[in-house]
Amino acid sequence: MSEQQQEQAEQGVGEFTLATPVSAEPTAPRTSTAPEPDARWELPHGFAHVYLGEGNQAITRPVVMADGFDLGRSELEWLYAGLDGGAYPLLSELRRRGRDVILLGFEERSASLLDNADAAIAAILRTRAEQLGDTRLTVGGFSMGGLVTRYALAKLETQRMDHRTAVYFSYDTPHRGAVVPVGLQAFSHFIPVPNPFARQMNSPAARQMLWRHFNPVTGDAAIAVERTQFLTALSKVGGWPTVPRRLALANGRGDGTGLAIPPGETALKVERIFPGTTFHTQAQGKDIVVAELRRRFPPAEKTILTSDFPEFDGAPGGTLRSYGILADMLRRFGAAIDLRHEHICFVPTVSALAIRDLDQQKDLYAAVDDLDPDESEADDFLCSSDTTAHTAITPELGAWLLDRLPD
């Protein structure tokens, strides 16, 4: 590889994002399995596709489901395919039971959750207005979508507006924060040109949802101002909707068992481009090295440290191919890759269930099954029996949710 090719590679490697798996457009060509929607709605900051249940001529037994986090406009055909094309065909099963599916998308998935909540509010009110019959709504979302709809319902209640929602659900939603390794966040800004990965990591939604955010200006990893502002706004509307029954589902296990990822190990090492760049799994302690970043064009080196972090990468929770996604892109540009930990925790179980905070090791690794269920801010919840990918629709989780929808 010539120097010119290496320079182009270092500039181009950021053309990817860490996507919510169920809504991500596949990297390999395949045909979407989404049917044509029965209606399309344009909404403030978003839009929705309506799929009527079997035998329904109009919206009768509605389930509003919000998309998750990524960069750019929602791709609802891929969201439909992702929710329906796995081990449990969630949308087909809903429609077979006579439920009407309203998929909610956003014009910009990385925009502020407060802005995207306007789309959720509009979708809820339009559903209510067009519905025939008196079945109360189910409203919720996947990953970020669970936070957006949580805020939307709570805001409607503070405005004394009847949302007619009986069940709110969140599916592997980061109620207490999501985790992208600080070294990966820093690497997005170490790439020598503006790139989609950096835009995603520094987006309003990322700064609101991440437990700790890497600030590319100061080089610090801390609670973002936007996260504090979002939590304050959420508190002002009561924190949660109080009228519907609140359900929470987690892709992580509930027995305190996470991934077999020892702290402080090499997770990913790179050669040929960004030669010598190394990412380490998160360890506890002061001034812990989580990444050593090196590039040639222009030459630069940076060591990324954390202090007082628990061991996130192996924690119980829904997983994301965080290092695997980056490794795929680096290989595409000619890098030599030593990838040792492809999947790591993204949304800890305790965050998805709103039952413990993430600051302490003992809470992050708590055996939820042994805790008092009343510690959760949800009325009912379910953890996955096995560690599964973030937002993966499994028969266990999907059937549990459907069995708890309003009559």
pLDDT at 287 over 80: yes
| Nearest alpha-carbon partner for 391 in 90, 47, 156 | 90
Q: How confident is the model at residue 28 (pLDDT cuts 50, 70, 90)?
A: low
**How many angstroms from the chain centroid is the CA of residue 136?**
27
The average confidence (pLDDT) of the chain is: 96
Q: For 127-180, write each residue's pLDDT tens digit.
A: 999 999 999 999 999 999 999 999 999 999 999 999 999 999 999 999 999 999
φ/ψ of 191, rounded to 5, equals: -60, 130
CATH number 3.40.50.300 given to 21-176+226-257+351-402 = no
Query: CA torsion, points 47, 390, 400, 59, in degrees to nearest 10?
Result: 10
Whole-angstrom distance, CA of residue 109 vs CA of residue 71: 6
φ/ψ of 151, rounded to 5, equals: -65, -40
User: Which carries the bigger pLDDT value, residue 1 or residue 217?
Assistant: 217
Contact 73, 34 (CB under 8 A): no
Q: Which DSSP letter does residue 149 get?
A: H
| Nearest alpha-carbon partner for 70 in 343, 282, 247, 320 | 320
Residue ranges of the domains in the chain? 3-17+179-221+258-347, 21-176+226-257+351-402
Q: How confident is the model at residue 407 (pLDDT cuts 50, 70, 90)?
A: confident
Q: What is the pLDDT of residue 22?
A: 82
Q: How confident is the model at residue 1 (pLDDT cuts 50, 70, 90)?
A: confident
Whole-angstrom distance, CA of residue 400 vs CA of residue 316: 20
Q: How confident is the model at residue 32 (pLDDT cuts 50, 70, 90)?
A: low
Average pLDDT (203-217) is 98
pLDDT at 29 over 60: no
Q: What is the pLDDT of residue 126?
A: 98
pLDDT at 33 over 90: no
Is the pTM of the predicted complex or chain greater than 0.85? yes
% of residues, the chain, pLDDT over 90: 94
| Nearest alpha-carbon partner for 329 in 10, 71, 21, 20 | 10
Q: What is the pLDDT of residue 290?
A: 98
Average pLDDT (237-263) is 98
Q: What is the pLDDT of residue 265?
A: 97
Average pLDDT (363-373) is 97
Q: What is the pLDDT of residue 31?
A: 59
Q: What is the pLDDT of residue 227?
A: 98
Type of residue numbered 396: E
| Nearest alpha-carbon partner for 25 in 99, 75, 97 | 75
Q: What is the pLDDT of residue 293?
A: 98
Whole-angstrom distance, CA of residue 35 vs CA of residue 2: 47
Average pLDDT (278-306) is 98
Whole-angstrom distance, CA of residue 22 vs CA of residue 79: 6
Average pLDDT (61-84) is 97
Whole-angstrom distance, CA of residue 350 vs CA of residue 309: 16
CB burial class (10 A; 0-12, 13-18, 19+) of residue 30? exposed
Whole-angstrom distance, CA of residue 51 vs CA of residue 329: 36
Whole-angstrom distance, CA of residue 269 vs CA of residue 192: 19
Contact 174, 351 (CB under 8 A): yes
Q: Which residues are bridge partners to 338 per DSSP?
A: 269
Average pLDDT (321-340) is 97
Whole-angstrom distance, CA of residue 400 vs CA of residue 41: 29
% of residues, the chain, pLDDT over 70: 98
Contact 352, 252 (CB under 8 A): yes
